[in-house]
Amino acid sequence: MVIDHIGLVFFSEIILFRIIGRLAFPIFAFAVAEGYSKTHSKAKYALRMLIFALISTYPFLLIAPDGLTLNIMYTFLLSIGVMYLYDKLQQAKADHNTNSVEPKSIGSQNILLYSVAFYGALIFVIVFTITVPTDYYFYGVFSVLIFYVYRGSFLKQALYFSVITIGFCLVTIVPEQSFMLNILQCFSLLSLPILYFYNGKRGKLNLKYLFYIFYPLQFIVLYIVKILI
C-alpha cells in the first residue's frame, strides 16, 4: 500500500511501484471479510470503519488521483453494510426452511424483504461508487463480498475474485482513467498465493488499530515530504 502511494506521489513514471502496490487491496479486502465474520460486535466494527473513514477523508484528498473523492475505508464501510444484508437474507432463508418462523407466509415475506434490500444495496453500491467516486469503486465492495460469501473455500474465492478483477481491468469506469491503469489491477491476482496460506487464526501481535491509524497518517507524511522537496 505504501509503495503504491509513494509511486503515485513521487514516481508516477515508474510503473513498478504501482504494480507492487496492486497486491495490497486483495489482502485488505480479505482481512475486512474475515474481520467482519469474527468480530463480536458488527455495529462497533462498522462504527470504527466510519470514524476512521471520516478521519482519513482530508488526508486522502491531499494525494488522491484525479477523480477520486472517497477513500478505501468508505468502500469497506459499504462492504460491511452489504455483508450484513447478505447475512440477514441467508438467515431468513434458513428460518424458512427449518420452519422456525410461523406462519410460513411470514418467512416468505422476510425472504422477499431481505432479497429486495440486499440486491437493492448492490445496485446502490454500483451507482454510488461511480457517481461519488470511491476508491476501487463497486469492484472493491464486491471483492470483499466474494471473500466473505465463499470463506472456507479458497478455490471459489480465487476463482470469483479473478473473474471480477479481470472484468474490472477490461472496463474503464472513469473516462479520465486510462486503459493501461485499469490493466494494472490484474496484478492484484498475484496476492492470491499469499491469501492461500492464511490459516484462519489471529496472529500473536495485536495489530487491531494499526491499519486504521497508519492509513491517514501515511497521506499526511507523504504530502509533507512532497512539499519539502
Domain residue extents for the chain? 2-228
Q: What are the mean pLDDT values of the chain's consecutive 10-residue runs (229 residues total)?
A: 76 79 91 93 95 92 77 96 96 77 66 93 94 90 97 95 90 56 83 89 68 87 85
* Distance between CA atoms of residues 166 and 188, nearest Å: 10
pLDDT at residue 179 in the model: 53
pLDDT at residue 67 in the model: 61
pLDDT at residue 156 in the model: 97
Nearest C-alpha neighbor of 132 from the set 173, 169, 80: 173
Measure Cα distances from 228 to 3, 56, 62, 179, 219 in Å.
19, 22, 14, 33, 14
* Distance between CA atoms of residues 49 and 210, nearest Å: 13
- Residues in the chain, how many? 229
pLDDT at residue 15 in the model: 80
CA 45 to mean position of chain CA atoms = 14
Q: Are 22 and 190 in contact (CB under 8 A)?
A: yes
Residue bearing cell 476501487: 136
* Distance between CA atoms of residues 49 and 52, nearest Å: 5
pLDDT at residue 3 in the model: 78
Q: Are 191 and 20 in contact (CB under 8 A)?
A: no
* Residue 190 phi, psi (nearest 5): -70, -15
pLDDT at residue 181 in the model: 60
What's the CA angle centered on 91, arms 89 and 97, to 5 degrees?
Answer: 105
pLDDT at residue 103 in the model: 61
Which residues is 70 bridged to in the sheet?
134
- The model's pTM is 0.88
Helix, strand, coil % (nearest 5) of the chain? 75, 0, 25
Nine-digit cell string for 134: 470511491
pLDDT at residue 172 in the model: 60
What are the start-end ranges of the H helices in the chain? Answer: 2-10, 15-21, 24-38, 42-63, 72-97, 104-131, 137-149, 154-169, 179-183, 192-196, 210-228
* Distance between CA atoms of residues 41 and 3, nearest Å: 33
pLDDT at residue 126 in the model: 94
* Residue 152 phi, psi (nearest 5): 95, -15
Nearest C-alpha neighbor of 63 from the set 26, 12, 132, 22: 12
pLDDT at residue 212 in the model: 85
